Amino acid sequence: MSLADAFTAVFVSLGAFFFFAGWVGLVRFPDALSRLHALSKADNLGLGLVVIGLLPQASWPFGTLKLIALWLVAVLVGGASAQLLAGAIHAQAAETSTGGEPGRGTEAAPGANGNDKATS
C-alpha cells in the first residue's frame, strides 16, 4: 500500500464517519431545523474529506478540478436548499401559530421591546 492509498483510505473513512454522524443527527434530533442543521454540516464536511481523500487518486489537472468543482457545487446547492427549507419551515410554523392568517405573527407583541408599559 502506497502513501497515496493510505491517505485516501484515511480521509475517505473520516468522510464516511461524518456522513454517519449526519445520519445519526437526522434520526435523533427532535425538530426539523435541528435535523437540517446537523445533516447539512456533517454532509458538507464529509464530502469535503472524501474529495480530499480522492485527490491523490485523480488524474492531474482535469480529474482534480472536477472533484473540487463537484465539492463546491454541492456546498453551494446544499447551503441554498437548506436555507430555502428552513424558511419554509419557519413560515409554516408562523402561519400555524397565527391560525392561518397571512401577514400575522411578524409584528412584535405589545411589551416585547420593553418600552410599552402595561397600565392597570
pLDDT of 106-117, one tens digit each?
554 555 455 555
Alpha helices in the chain, H assignment, sequence order? 3-28, 32-54, 62-97
Is residue 15 within 8 Å of residue 46, measured between CB atoms? yes
Q: Which of 43, 45, 52, 51 is nearest to 81 (CA)?
A: 43
Residue with cell 441554498: 80
Q: How far is CA 22 from CA 9, 36, 72, 105, in A?
A: 20, 9, 19, 32
Average the pLDDT over 86-114 and give the result.
Answer: 68
pLDDT of 27-80, one tens digit each?
999 988 888 888 888 889 999 999 999 999 998 899 999 999 999 999 999 888
Cell numbers for 25, please give them.
443527527
pTM assigned to the model = 0.72
* Amino acid letter, residue 88: A
CA gap 76, 107 in Å, rounded: 32
Q: Please list, in sequence order, all residues whose beta carbon lies within 8 angstroms of the beta carbon of residue 117, skipping any fewer than 6 positions away.
A: 111
Cα 118 to chain center, whole Å?
42
